[in-house]
Amino acid sequence: MSKTQYVIFGNKGFLAEVSAADQEVAGGSATSLTVDGTLATDAGFLPIDHAHDTASTSTDAYNIIIKAAGGTTGDRANDNLTDFATGAAFAAAADPAAGDVTALRAKDWDVANTNQVTVITASGAVGYDIQNTDKLWLEQVAAHATALPFGTISTQICLPMKNFIGADQVAYAQEYWDGTALDRTVLSFKSTVGSATDDTIILTHTAGKYKEICAMMENLANANNYDDPITVFDLDSSGLITQFDSTLGIVGCFVRSAAK
């Protein structure tokens, strides 16, 4: 039996969008986030339902971050918040200036109706009024039961490099909350169950890293490490556990495997 290198990928949910002039993330009042969907709207994970007055442990798995395009009085909670990107105090507590980056707290949003995220309208020390030109990010930061599919069969996948078919660039119009331009690359593998549907890994990463990703896959194919699989990307309960996230700027990783 010939030897082959095996690689492991794990989910890291990520959604970036420009506000649609409402308080619901990823669409209107009847829209919920999805694990499997289009590349434009798929979050890659599902926050479990929680009330906005729940303790902060409800957000252990993910961040919700808003970058203001401009400000109107009362947009943001007046609660001594600081800029998530710079750590500096905001010039106006309750009036976001263009470029202000605000990380919401557990009391600033809720999840209901099966994975529908709603930001609480600003009032006093709670909430944020999203404007229709604001940018919003929903980013998983750790493996945690509050962000499905943690602990399910779709969370991770181990693939033989001999099944690797190729890497494709896909259009992606969003940026990261720190202003870094982003791209997406789809890694395709022949299905481990022999179906006509490929197993795919969708990486969201720093723009311009496509060649480096191809070089990574070439190096993995020739690694000749037959004692252990190589973890290419994954999360643990405290965050990232891979050497590739820092060099490639990986902010999202969606595992798409053929039906088993």
* Sequence ranges of the domains in the chain: 6-12+152-256
What is the predicted pLDDT for the residue at 83?
A: 94
Which contiguous run of DSSP H or E holds residue 217?
Answer: helix 210-221
Burial 89-111 (b: 16+ CB within 10 A, else e): ebeeebbbeeebbbbbbbbbbbb
Query: Which parts of the chain have pLDDT scores under 50?
Result: none
CA 78 to chain centroid, in Å, comes to: 28
Distance of alpha carbon 250 from alpha carbon 188, whole angstroms: 17
Distance of alpha carbon 127 from alpha carbon 113, whole angstroms: 19
CA 110 to chain centroid, in Å, comes to: 18
- 256 strand-pairing partners: 200
- pTM for this predicted structure: 0.89
3-class secondary structure, 214: helix
- CA distances to 11, 49, 94, 98, 164 from 70, in Å: 33, 30, 12, 4, 45
Distance of alpha carbon 232 from alpha carbon 178, whole angstroms: 24
Distance of alpha carbon 194 from alpha carbon 15, whole angstroms: 31
Cβ neighbors of 173 (< 8 A, separation 6 or more) are: none
3-class secondary structure, 43: coil
What is the predicted pLDDT for the residue at 38?
A: 67
Q: State pLDDT tens for residues 129-149.
A: 988 889 999 998 888 777 776
What is the predicted pLDDT for the residue at 60?
A: 67
Residues in the chain: 260
Tell me which residue of 145, 152, 147, 258 sits closest to 201, measured CA to CA. Answer: 258
Q: State pLDDT tens for residues 51-101.
A: 887 555 555 688 899 999 877 667 888 888 899 999 998 887 788 889 999
Are 246 and 9 spatial neighbours (Cβ–Cβ below 8 Å)?
A: no
Instruction: Supply the DSSP string of 87-138, one letter for each residue.
Output: -PBPSSTTSPPTT-EEEPPGGGEEEETTTEEEEPPPBTTB-B---TT-EEEE
What's the Rg (C-alpha) of the chain?
Answer: 19
